Amino acid sequence: MSKLRIFLISLALGVAAHALPVSAANLAFGNSRDTSNLPVQVEADQLDVNQKDGTATFSGNVQIAQGEMLLSAPTVLVVYAEDSKKIVRLTASGGVTVVNGPDAAEAQNADYDIDAGTVLLTGNVLVTQGKNVMSGDRVVLNLDAGTAQVGGRVRTTLETQE
C-alpha cells in the first residue's frame, strides 16, 4: 500500500472521528432522575390564557424550573389536559436554553412532553458537557433517564485532557 493511500485513509478516519454523519448518537444529560412528577414553576413577563383550548402562553423572559431542570425562552405555550389543570406539554420557541445539573443545551425550539419526561430540541441544537460540545439537527433529552439522543448530522468535539 502506498504512503499516500495510508495517509489518505488515516486522514479520512481522523476526520470521521470529529464529524460523523450518524443518524443518532447517545449521551448522558444531567444528573437528576425521575423529574417528570415534580411541580413545574413558571415565571414570565406576561401571561395570556385561552380557556377554550386549554392553553396558556407565557412570553418575555420565560423561566421554567422542574427539579434541577431549568428551561428559558422568549415564548412558551403551555398545554393543559382536557379533563384537568395538569400541564401535559410545554412548547418553547425563539431561542431555548435547557440546563440540567452540569449539562446545557441550546436550540431554536423545544417541545417538552411532561408525562414522557422528554424534551425534543430542534433548530441549531448545541449540547455542552464541561469542555465537550456536540451539535445536531435534533436532540431528544430524556430527563427521567438522564440521557440524550442526538440525530441528523452530528458534530462533536471531545476533550481528551482535563
Q: Quick one: average pLDDT of 7-33?
A: 43
- CA 150/CA 126 separation, integer angstroms: 10
Mean per-residue pLDDT of the chain: 78
Return d(Cα 47, Cα 150) in angstroms, integer.
Answer: 32
User: Which 8-state DSSP code applies to residue 152?
Assistant: S
Cβ neighbours of residue 130 under 8 Å, at least 6 residues apart?
Answer: 102, 159
Q: pLDDT value at position 2? A: 40
Cell of 26: 447517545
Segment 50-102, tens digit of pLDDT: 988 889 999 999 999 988 889 999 999 999 998 877 889 999 999 999 888 88
pTM above 0.85, yes or no: no
Q: pLDDT: is 27 or 112 the higher one?
A: 112
H/E/C letters for each residue in 34-50? Answer: CCCCCCCEEECCEEEEE
Domains and their CATH numbers in the chain: 20-157 (2.60.450.10)
The answer on pLDDT for 9 being more than 50 is no
Report the alpha-carbon distance of residue 3 to residue 30 in Å, rounded.
45
